[in-house]
Structure 1
């Protein structure tokens, strides 16, 4: 009996522990590195890009095969019936032939150029894949930051809704005691209803943001770690746009890929022009079979004894081919490849201009974000002081309820702008590194030093010294 109770109790403990572990896994809090790592493994677009690259790599051995020997072997087995009228004669027999052929290209200019074009295209595809993998760092960070934006915006909306609810209740209480008018009550109710609608919209945006994380990582999360308000907000180092533009022109992966695209187009154009050149191959063959298979049939009655043995034949030689006219196909392909070359050069030039523009824009954006974060933080302080003064003025009769409501909305608007400025700074910093070609996973790791593992949006959407918003 004791053993039964012991085993029953042990099973209960195991079930409780398993339930606790399962609950912890279901409620696992996402962090930035985990989101990135799972995105690298599970993102369908990146996986498709890897498969595309692996497929494009095969164009090199395919092009090289055109320069290597081609060897083939085969055979044939036939049943032949021979009939003659004068003199009357009929015979049936089987014939078999074995053959081996080899073809070695000696001069194939078009195939050499095709190989060069394939190698350049593969190099371009590799750089494009690396650019997509680098873009995944930014994509994971953007999805994570968008989720934090939504959570902080929801926290501000909840706080604003609660504050306006208090104003509505106070206006209703003043109306009962004759210290307020019905207009104040209606104004307070309208402000609260608007805040309530905004809060519901913010909740939907939070759900949308988490769904974006699910699509990216193929994992579901109920919460994420936040970014601490002590994150340093500094100008890029060095704070020189020309430096970053120069680095981008040298290391931007998409721009480097476009350079190889031009090289591939040049080789393809030369390959098509080589269609006018002669070709020279060495060919060799070996044949062995019975005499009928080679057409040496010598039946009885013709005047010579019949030979039924095997016959073999060897040959080796050079095969020269000089193209003269192909219906205009070669000239058409040359014109097409010439236009493709011009297209790739224009695309490279456009990409270079885009890289320069984006580099300068992100550099300016970071410097603006540094100023914005400081200004928005100060705006919160000013809005808090303004709200406090307006509330006191309302108590003294020098301010109206509408003034108080406007001050409340202004305060929480400043809160949202402050958080947006913080996340803009982080995203623009990573974007500048990406366009310069220096972004890597270590940049995400450095951000984790400023992550708040116990992040609670309703508590941490404001800096600690500015967290008290009600009086």
Structure 2
């Protein structure tokens, strides 16, 4: 799975774009938007920096098991005054150079610290991969939110135009005495509502575009639309249990939590090892004059060298209860990590089943909403004819039109939900990758125009929308 995210991770290391928001000319497709998001996402860059920082714990912990070498020098200038007049005062100086080498031989706490650091490093890498994977979904959600808003705006605009025609017709009928003033007022109210809805839909489009700017730091005027030819198929395999099994094995956040538990376990072992002795091999070499070593060879300033090699054993006997307290603290932290993992595991199972069910429900919804449009088109025609002959009133016609355009919006909402719920299912299962965006890319239509393509061509022609 990590290899499948290599494209995202590689791009994440690229230089961040400038802070100024830059406009993008022409129509932007899904993959291009994703590349912009990876290159410019501040959240992804922050996650990468956080992961890199946490991975530094490994060399830091390993350093505690490696030799420690230090060097130094010591210079002293001593002036001595004697009380007896028979002895003259003296001035003596000393300079000593020293090197010390320490090699840990038995340091259980440092070994467990290294094991914990390695687990934290793995956890950090998986959490970064989860952030990179989430960016795939964020990109798709932002992209299709714009397309959905544009389709809804187109449908709402068409609804406003239909209500305007109904208002004009009501006025004409009133002027020739075929209807009363009530019909005009009802039609006016319907038109005013449709106009307000259209203004609100236009604002939703702008908000969706602004969300893309936050994601990438760029302005987008137009996106390539999604054609109605996209195949609507059940997930493969269409078995919730298999998806749950995959999620339990591959969900990135769940895998990261496993390493979190491992790190907490190693931390507990590290704290328990505070009761154990430590053993180091130590060596030192010193060179200077005899005064620096406190020796009296009779000759001031004579050269002297000392070498020592040995073992240093330390046995902790009593630390005021500090070690025991740290063990209890680490035990609680391990329990917290295990309980958090279990909670996440249950959430992953629930989300996987919910998303699998949602995808199948979306398929049924798309088919049902399509049929609803056909039925509502017939209802509008029947009510308009009935209104002409006097068997239906204006309210019946307006309600039929309102139901028709609601069904159009529901249809478009269902088809975009199908796309996104498929991606959410794959993310929960831990299999979502940039390849999934590439697969959707082939169904985008550069000549898609929401104003006339918000419905499939056959339904638009049949209903004259």
Q: Same fold (TM over 0.5)?
A: yes
Residues 1:43 and 2:36 aligned together: no
Query: 2:29 pairs with 27, 31, 44, which one?
Result: 31
Q: What is the distance in 2 between the residues matched to 1:221 and 1:215?
A: 11
Q: Secondary structure at the match of 1:167?
A: helix
CA contact (8 A) 1:415 1:462 kept: yes
Counterpart for residue 459 of structure 2? 466
RMSD: 1.4
Please list, as runs of the form range in 1=range in 2, the aligned pairs for 1:361-372 lying within 5 A after superposition.
361-372=354-365
Q: Distance in 2 between matches of 1:68 and 1:185?
A: 90
1:456 to 444, 449, 457: 449
Give the whole-Å Cα distance in 2 for the aligned partners of 1:296 and 1:243: 81
1:435 matches 2:433: no
- Deviation per residue, 1:346-397 (Å, 9 max, x gap): 1111111111111111111111111100000111111111101111111111
Q: CA deviation at 1:204?
A: 0.9
- Find the residue that maps to 1:104 and give its secondary structure: strand
Displaced runs of 4 or more, over 3 A: 468-471
Q: Give CA-to-partner distance per residue, 1:20-59, whole Å, 9 cap, x none.
A: xxxxx75321111011111111111111000011111110
The match for 2:80 among 76, 79, 82 is 82
Q: CA deviation at 1:175?
A: 1.7
> Structure 2 CA distance, aligned partners of 1:110 and 1:45?
35
The 2-side partners of 1:415 and 1:384 are apart by: 10
- 2:216 paired with 1:212: no
Which residue of 1 is the match for residue 6 of structure 2? none
Rg comparison, structure with higher value:
1
Q: Is the 8 A contact 2:291 2:300 kept in 1?
A: no
The 2-side partners of 1:167 and 1:89 are apart by 124
Question: What TM-score comes out, normalization by structure 2 length?
Answer: 0.92
Q: Distance in 2 between matches of 1:162 and 1:470?
A: 12
Counterparts of 1:77 and 1:383 in 2: how far apart (Å)?
99
| 1:454 to partner: Cα distance | 1.3
Contact 2:109–2:274 (8 Å) recurs in 1: yes
What secondary structure, in the 3-state scheme, does the structure 1 residue paired with 2:279 have?
strand
Mapping for residues 88-167 of structure 1, pairs under 5 Å: 88-167=87-166
In 2: Cα distance, 1:117 partner to 1:233 partner: 47
- How does the TM-score come out when normalised to structure 1? 0.91
Alpha-carbon shift at residue 470 of structure 1 (Å): 4.6
Structure 2 unpaired stretches of 5+: 1-22
| Aligned-residue offset at 1:90 | 1.9
Aligned residue pair count:
441
Gaps of 5+ in 1: 1-24, 299-304
CA distance in 1, matches of 2:146, 2:93: 80
Tell me the distance in 1 between the aligned counterparts of 2:424 and 2:217.
Answer: 24
Distance 2:89 2:300 in 1: 16
SS in 2 for 1:232: coil
**Is contact 2:94–2:301 with CA below 8 Å preserved after alignment?**
no
Give the conservation status (yes or no) of the 8 Å contact 2:96–2:292. yes
CA distance in 2, matches of 1:40, 1:466: 38
User: CA shift at 1:289, angstroms?
Assistant: 1.4
